[in-house]
Homo-oligomer: A and B are copies of this chain.
Amino acid sequence: MPKHKIGIVGATGYTGSELVRLLIDHPDVSIEIITSESKAGTSFSKINPHFKGRIDMKLEPLKNLADHELDLVFLALPHGVSMDFIRDWNPDDFRVIDLSGDFRLGSAEEYRQWYHKKHKAPDLIEKAVFGLPELFRDQIRNARLVANPGCYPTSAILALAPLIKNEIIEPEQIMIDSKSGVSGAGAKAKQQTHFPEVFGNFSAYGLLKHRHTPEIQHNLARYAQKSTEVLFTPHLIPIDRGILTTTYSTPTKDIDKEYLGEWYYSFYEKEYFIRVVDDPPNVKHVRGSNYCDIHVTYDERTNKVVTVSTIDNLVKGAAGQAVQNMNLMFGFIERSGLEISPLSP
Q: Which residues of A contact B (CB under 8 A)?
A: 14, 17, 21, 24-25, 48-54, 172-175, 177, 179, 181-183, 187-191, 193-205, 207-208, 229-231, 233, 235, 237-242, 244, 246, 248, 272, 275, 277, 279-289, 291, 295, 297, 299, 301-302, 304, 306, 308, 339, 341-345
Contact between B202 and A341 (Cβ–Cβ < 8 Å)?
no
Q: Cβ of A182: which chain B residues have Cβ within 8 Å of it?
A: 195-196, 199
Could you say which of B17, B204, B244 contacts A203, with CB atoms under 8 Å apart? B244
A140 CB → nearest B CB, Å: 22
Could you pull out 7 A-B pairs where Cβ atoms are within 8 angstroms? A14-B345, A49-B277, A51-B342, A53-B272, A54-B341, A177-B248, A343-B343
Of B24, B172, B195, B208, which is within 8 A of A198 by CB?
B195
A239 touches B201 (CB 8 A): yes
**Contact status of A200 and B287, CB under 8 A, knowing A248-B175, A344-B50:** yes
Complex Cα–Cα for A25 and B52 (A)? 22
CA distance A237 to B180 in the complex (A): 11
B237 pairs with A202, CB closer than 8 A: yes
Select from chain B the residue with minimum beta-carbon distance to A55: B341
* Residue among A196, A235, A283 with max Cβ neighbours from chain B (10 Å): A196
* Residue in B238, B277, B288, B295 whose CB lies within 8 Å of A288: B288
A272 to B204, CA, bound (A): 24
Known: A196-B14, A196-B345, A200-B200. A172 touches B302 (CB 8 A): yes
A186 to chain B, nearest CB (A): 9
**How far apart are the CA atoms of A181 and B24 in the complex, in Å?**
28
The 8 closest A-B pairs by CB, nearest first: A203-B282, A196-B345, A50-B285, A189-B194, A50-B342, A201-B284, A204-B280, A231-B302
Residue in B173, B230, B233, B339 whose beta carbon sits within 8 Å of that of A246 in the complex:
B233
Cβ-closest chain B residue relative to A300: B208
A343 contact set on B, CB distance < 8 A = 21, 287-288, 343
Residues of B within 8 A of A199 (CB): 182, 195, 199-200, 238-240, 345
Question: In the complex, are the beta carbons of B341 and A50 less than 8 A apart?
Answer: yes
| Residues in B whose Cβ lies below 8 Å from that of A189 | 189-191, 193-194
Given A196-B14, A238-B195, A288-B343, is A202 in contact with B282 using a C-beta cutoff of 8 Å? Answer: yes
A180 and chain B: residue at smallest CB distance: B202
Alpha-carbon gap, A279 to B239, bound state (A): 22
Residues of B near A194 (CB, < 8 A) are 187-190, 193-195
